Homo-oligomer: A and B are copies of this chain.
Amino acid sequence: MGDWQSLINLIRQFNQERDWGQFHNAKDLALALSIEAGELNELFLWKNAEEADQERVKEELADIFTYAIQLADKYDFDINEIVSRKIQNNALKYPVEKARGSAKKYNDL
Protein backbone atom coordinates (compact mmCIF):
# COMPACT_ATOMS: atom_id res chain seq x y z
CA MET A 1 0.00 0.00 0.00
CA GLY A 2 2.66 2.47 0.95
CA ASP A 3 2.72 5.66 2.91
CA TRP A 4 1.19 8.97 2.02
CA GLN A 5 4.30 11.07 2.61
CA SER A 6 5.63 9.90 -0.74
CA LEU A 7 2.37 11.11 -2.37
CA ILE A 8 2.67 14.50 -0.68
CA ASN A 9 6.16 14.81 -2.12
CA LEU A 10 4.98 13.87 -5.62
CA ILE A 11 2.12 16.37 -5.50
CA ARG A 12 4.31 19.16 -4.11
CA GLN A 13 6.82 18.65 -6.90
CA PHE A 14 4.09 18.58 -9.56
CA ASN A 15 2.67 21.89 -8.31
CA GLN A 16 6.05 23.57 -7.85
CA GLU A 17 7.10 22.76 -11.41
CA ARG A 18 3.90 24.46 -12.66
CA ASP A 19 3.93 27.31 -10.13
CA TRP A 20 0.39 26.38 -9.12
CA GLY A 21 0.76 27.11 -5.42
CA GLN A 22 -0.62 30.62 -6.06
CA PHE A 23 -4.06 29.18 -6.97
CA HIS A 24 -4.19 26.58 -4.21
CA ASN A 25 -5.88 28.39 -1.36
CA ALA A 26 -7.83 26.08 0.95
CA LYS A 27 -11.24 27.32 -0.25
CA ASP A 28 -10.57 26.46 -3.88
CA LEU A 29 -8.90 23.16 -2.95
CA ALA A 30 -12.06 22.19 -1.04
CA LEU A 31 -14.13 23.32 -4.02
CA ALA A 32 -11.98 21.26 -6.40
CA LEU A 33 -12.42 18.23 -4.15
CA SER A 34 -16.22 18.52 -4.23
CA ILE A 35 -16.20 18.97 -8.02
CA GLU A 36 -14.22 15.74 -8.34
CA ALA A 37 -16.67 14.08 -5.93
CA GLY A 38 -19.43 15.11 -8.35
CA GLU A 39 -17.53 13.50 -11.23
CA LEU A 40 -17.15 10.32 -9.21
CA ASN A 41 -20.89 10.28 -8.49
CA GLU A 42 -21.69 10.75 -12.17
CA LEU A 43 -20.23 7.27 -12.81
CA PHE A 44 -23.06 5.82 -10.69
CA LEU A 45 -25.92 8.00 -11.98
CA TRP A 46 -29.04 6.10 -13.14
CA LYS A 47 -27.17 2.87 -12.36
CA ASN A 48 -26.68 0.19 -9.76
CA ALA A 49 -23.44 0.26 -7.78
CA GLU A 50 -22.03 -2.63 -9.82
CA GLU A 51 -22.54 -0.94 -13.19
CA ALA A 52 -19.98 1.85 -12.73
CA ASP A 53 -16.87 1.74 -14.90
CA GLN A 54 -14.04 0.66 -12.56
CA GLU A 55 -11.28 2.34 -14.54
CA ARG A 56 -13.04 5.69 -14.36
CA VAL A 57 -13.82 5.20 -10.65
CA LYS A 58 -10.09 4.70 -10.18
CA GLU A 59 -9.28 7.99 -11.90
CA GLU A 60 -11.88 10.08 -10.11
CA LEU A 61 -10.96 8.58 -6.76
CA ALA A 62 -7.31 9.37 -7.46
CA ASP A 63 -8.28 13.02 -8.11
CA ILE A 64 -10.16 13.13 -4.83
CA PHE A 65 -7.17 11.74 -2.92
CA THR A 66 -4.92 14.26 -4.65
CA TYR A 67 -6.98 17.23 -3.44
CA ALA A 68 -7.60 15.75 0.01
CA ILE A 69 -3.85 15.19 0.44
CA GLN A 70 -3.12 18.75 -0.71
CA LEU A 71 -5.57 20.11 1.84
CA ALA A 72 -4.00 18.01 4.60
CA ASP A 73 -0.57 19.25 3.52
CA LYS A 74 -1.79 22.87 3.42
CA TYR A 75 -2.92 22.68 7.04
CA ASP A 76 -0.03 20.45 8.04
CA PHE A 77 -2.42 17.75 9.26
CA ASP A 78 -1.09 14.25 9.91
CA ILE A 79 -3.50 12.09 7.89
CA ASN A 80 -3.18 9.00 10.07
CA GLU A 81 -3.72 11.04 13.20
CA ILE A 82 -6.81 12.94 12.01
CA VAL A 83 -8.47 9.86 10.50
CA SER A 84 -7.82 7.58 13.45
CA ARG A 85 -9.01 10.26 15.89
CA LYS A 86 -12.21 10.73 13.86
CA ILE A 87 -12.84 6.99 13.93
CA GLN A 88 -12.43 7.02 17.70
CA ASN A 89 -14.97 9.85 17.94
CA ASN A 90 -17.35 7.98 15.66
CA ALA A 91 -17.00 4.94 17.88
CA LEU A 92 -18.36 7.04 20.75
CA LYS A 93 -21.20 8.49 18.61
CA TYR A 94 -22.09 5.05 17.26
CA PRO A 95 -21.68 2.57 20.12
CA VAL A 96 -21.65 -1.02 18.85
CA GLU A 97 -24.72 -2.13 20.81
CA LYS A 98 -26.86 0.71 19.44
CA ALA A 99 -25.49 1.07 15.91
CA ARG A 100 -25.18 -2.62 15.02
CA GLY A 101 -27.01 -3.29 11.76
CA SER A 102 -28.55 0.21 11.64
CA ALA A 103 -27.97 2.93 9.03
CA LYS A 104 -29.52 5.65 11.20
CA LYS A 105 -27.64 8.85 11.91
CA TYR A 106 -26.29 9.10 15.46
CA ASN A 107 -28.85 11.72 16.47
CA ASP A 108 -31.67 9.38 15.38
CA LEU A 109 -30.29 6.30 17.17
Q: Which A residues lie at the B interface, using CB under 8 A? A: 1-8, 10-11, 14, 17-20, 22-23, 25-28, 30-35, 37-50, 52, 54, 57-59, 61-66, 68-69, 71-72, 75, 77-87, 89-91, 94, 96, 99-103
Contact = CB atoms under 8 A, between A and B. Distances in A.
Given A38-B34, A59-B86, A87-B10, A27 B47 contact: yes
Contacts of A46: 23, 28, 32, 103
B45 A41 contact: no
A19 B96 CA distance: 9
Number of copies of this protein chain within its complex: 4
Of the candidates A37, A72, A82, A90, the one having the most CB atoms from chain B within 10 angstroms of its own CB is A37
Of the candidates A27, A75, A84, A90, the one having the most CB atoms from chain B within 10 angstroms of its own CB is A27
Given A18-B102, A20-B99, A32-B45, 6 more contacts: A2-B81, A10-B84, A18-B96, A33-B64, A57-B71, A58-B75
B37 A2 contact: no
B62 A82 contact: yes
A78 to B, nearest CB: 6
